């Protein structure tokens, strides 16, 4: 006996002999809808197999998330230059010679040493030689006096105190001779150089923006040596379209993040009143705080969650899982007419907020829509879907 099948009016079921295979699709029937779309009616068993879920559309306060682009900047006034306190010659240590734009320096780190120029004197070398000769003469006299005092003390002709004084005068004369000799050696190397060095230190932890000198370079007083940017406090400049300025100013939360990093909450602050006429944007400024070590110039994505506006109607939202998009960009949802009866309804979508879409037309709050198994319902509805 051949197996036979029956077609129910409310659901498509295939009743066969035990040898027949189970249907590959959920049972459904098709009825023309008033707007040209279809009504899908399922059996309880089909709805259970599809794991179909229904949710009620809610009207929520109008809080919209905007995505903007910001730039990390050093706050105005946080960039500063170290200048030469006196005219002299620049001395760089091996570590300082490796400094480049973008190098990080620690607070109180010695960056540059300056050897000041000595006062100009046309007879500076002759004067130095004269001082050496005078110091040598004093040493000779002191040595002779010390020898006489030591000889006399042995014969009890003088006191021990006189010997000690003679030795002290000799030590002082020898010290003057050494200083004068070093001065002559320094003049022969660099006649204008002093024998002291002035160290320039970083006043705070910073990043090198520019280096204006090199090792051995002669600089004038107040000449720029190195330019630094304090990275302790950083700002984020966000160009905001003029139409969105009011929403950003009422923002509930503003966050910045780079790909692969956690969002960082920004704090609004009063910055310079700047704008760009060509792009039609107004700058809004935010403090980055103690967030990631993003260097000045880094571009970040800024998420602005705007606050509820008094007098604006609440928005109707649905999960994106409930929306069915067609090839022409149209959107529709499946509305639950009855527990197992669904009608596809066209809707007009607005802005997206994560995985939630705002419905501008076609749906009202309180309507039950399918939020899971939407594509399966579309497959049942389409011709040849079973």
CATH number at residue 297: 2.40.30.170
Tens of pLDDT, residues 18-30: 333 344 444 444 4
**pTM over the 0.75 mark:** no
- Does residue 4 form part of some domain? no
Q: Are strands 206-211 and 79-83 parallel, antiparallel or unpaired?
A: unpaired
CATH number at residue 178: 1.10.287
Tell me the C-alpha distance between 278 and 285, whole Å: 19
- Does residue 21 form part of some domain? no
List Cβ neighbours of 73 (8 Å cut-off, separation of 6 or more). Answer: 234, 235, 236, 237, 296, 297
Helix (H) or strand (E) holding 103: none
* pLDDT tops 50 at residue 339: yes
* pLDDT tops 70 at residue 13: no
List Cβ neighbours of 385 (8 Å cut-off, separation of 6 or more). Answer: 25, 379
- Does residue 18 form part of some domain? no
Tell me the C-alpha distance between 97 and 108, whole Å: 17
Tell me the C-alpha distance between 303 and 323, whole Å: 24
- Does residue 108 form part of some domain? no
Torsion of CA 8, 13, 18, 22, to 10 degrees: 170
Question: Percentage of the chain surpassing pLDDT 70?
Answer: 78
- Does residue 221 form part of some domain? no
* pLDDT tops 90 at residue 283: yes
User: Directed axis angle between helix 124-154 and helix 160-189, to 10°?
Assistant: 160
List Cβ neighbours of 349 (8 Å cut-off, separation of 6 or more). Answer: 323, 331, 357, 358, 359, 360
Tokens of 2: 């051949």
Long-range contacts of 361-364 (CB under 8 A, 24+ apart): 363/57, 363/316, 363/318, 363/333, 363/335, 364/57, 364/316
Domain-terminating residue out of 160, 189, 218: 189
Domain that holds residue 182: 124-189
- Does residue 356 form part of some domain? yes
Q: How many domains is the chain partitioned into structurally?
A: 3
Smallest CA-to-CA distance from 304 within 268, 277, 260, 270 is with 268
Q: Which residue did the predictor score with more confidence, 255 or 312?
A: 255
Regarding whether 338 and 284 lie in a shared domain, the answer is no
- Does residue 377 form part of some domain? yes
- Does residue 249 form part of some domain? yes
CATH number at residue 33: 2.40.420.20
Regarding whether 337 and 290 lie in a shared domain, the answer is no
Tens of pLDDT, residues 153-194: 776 666 777 777 778 888 888 888 888 787 777 666 665 555
Domain-terminating residue out of 167, 189, 211: 189
Domain-terminating residue out of 245, 276, 306: 306
- Identify the DSSP state of 301: E
Say what the pLDDT of residue 86 is.
86
> What φ, ψ does residue 259 adopt, rounded to 5°?
-60, 130
Smallest CA-to-CA distance from 115 within 180, 186, 178 is with 186
Tens of pLDDT, residues 69-112: 999 887 777 778 889 888 888 888 888 888 888 788 888 888 88
């Amino acid at each position: 006996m051949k197996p036979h099948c029956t077609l129910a009016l409310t659901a498509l079921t295939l009743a066969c002999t035990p040898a027949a295979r189970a249907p590959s699709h959920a049972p459904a029937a098709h009825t023309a809808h008033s707007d040209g779309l279809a009504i899908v009616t399922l059996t309880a068993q089909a709805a259970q197999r599809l794991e179909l879920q229904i949710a009620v559309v809610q009207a929520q306060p109008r809080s919209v998330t905007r995505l903007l682009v910001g730039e990390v900047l050093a706050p105005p006034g946080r960039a500063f230059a170290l200048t030469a306190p006196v005219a002299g010659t620049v001395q760089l240590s091996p570590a300082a010679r490796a400094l480049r734009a973008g190098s990080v320096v620690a607070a109180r780190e010695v960056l540059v040493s300056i050897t000041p120029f000595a006062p100009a004197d046309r007879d500076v070398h002759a004067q130095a030689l004269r001082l050496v000769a005078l110091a040598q003469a004093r040493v000779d006299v002191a040595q002779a006096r010390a020898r006489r005092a030591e000889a006399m003390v042995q014969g009890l002709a003088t006191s021990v105190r006189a010997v000690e004084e003679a030795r002290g005068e000799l030590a002082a004369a020898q010290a003057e001779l050494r200083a004068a000799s070093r001065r002559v050696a320094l003049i022969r190397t660099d006649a204008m150089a002093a024998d002291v060095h002035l160290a320039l230190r970083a006043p705070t932890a910073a990043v090198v923006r520019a280096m204006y000198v090199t090792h051995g370079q002669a600089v004038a007083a107040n000449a720029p040596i190195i330019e630094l940017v304090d990275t302790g406090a950083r700002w984020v400049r966000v160009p905001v379209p003029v139409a969105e300025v009011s929403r950003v100013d009422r923002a509930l939360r503003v966050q910045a993040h780079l790909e692969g990093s956690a969002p960082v909450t920004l704090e609004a602050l009063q910055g310079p009143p700047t704008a760009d006429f060509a792009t039609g944007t107004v700058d809004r400024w935010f403090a980055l705080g103690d967030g990631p070590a993003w260097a000045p110039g880094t571009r970040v994505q800024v998420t602005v969650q705007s606050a509820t506006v008094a007098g604006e109607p609440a928005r109707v939202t649905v999960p994106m899982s409930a929306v069915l998009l067609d090839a022409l960009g149209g959107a529709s949802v499946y509305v639950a007419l009855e527990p197992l009866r669904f009608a596809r309804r066209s809707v007009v979508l607005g802005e997206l907020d994560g995985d939630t879409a705002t419905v501008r037309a076609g749906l009202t709050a309180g309507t039950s829509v399918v939020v899971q198994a939407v594509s399966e319902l579309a497959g049942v509805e389409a011709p040849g879907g079973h």
